[in-house]
Structure 1
Amino acid sequence: MTWRRRGCLVIGRPADSFPPFPSHFIQELTVADLAFVVTTAAVFALVALIARGVTKL
């Protein structure tokens, strides 16, 4: 037996038997995304600060 769930092939289990994503999992992903954005912004700010210092030399 095969069933389809969200476009992927699932063998042996109906689509309704899959549990939804737990809320803490989604919350962890949001925190990880936020940490990535903040880190990326900090790196760009540091590079800009270094570039400004180099141009003054």
Structure 2
Amino acid sequence: MGPPPSGTRQRPAGSGQGRGFLEASESLPHLCQEFTMADVAFVVTTIALFALVALVAKGVTKL
């Protein structure tokens, strides 16, 4: 085979540079789960906050 096309670089195997997000997430599976739990906590907290504001607004209108 000839040389690679111009503009492409080949890294030595095991250089460790250029690891993609997918490769990093496969090596740290618990990290993805932590982000998912943080997202769920954020959504639940936001819904609870809106429900609290709605209850306060309902109580104020009765005054």
The answer to whether TM tops 0.5 is yes
Q: CA deviation at 1:39?
A: 0.2
Report the equivalent of 2:24. 20
Q: Distance in 1 between matches of 2:39 and 2:62?
A: 35
Q: CA deviation at 1:20?
A: 2.2
Per-residue CA deviations over 1:2-22 (Å, capped at 9, x if unaligned) read x6xxxxxxxxx2x3xx24211
> Residue 55 of structure 1 aligns to which amino acid in structure 2?
T
Q: Distance in 2 between matches of 1:40 and 1:24?
A: 24
Per-residue CA deviations over 1:27-49 (Å, capped at 9, x if unaligned) read 00000000000000000000000
Count of aligned pairs between the two proteins: 45
**Structure of greater Rg:** 2
> Structure 1: which 4+ aligned runs deviate by more than 3 Å?
none
Alignment pair present for 1:56 and 2:62: yes
Higher relative contact order structure (alpha carbons within 8 Å, sequence separation ≥ 6) = 1
- Aligned CA RMSD, in angstroms, stands at 2.2
TM-score by length of 2: 0.62
Report the equivalent of 1:40. 46
Segments of structure 1 that go 5 or more residues without pairing to the other structure are 4-12
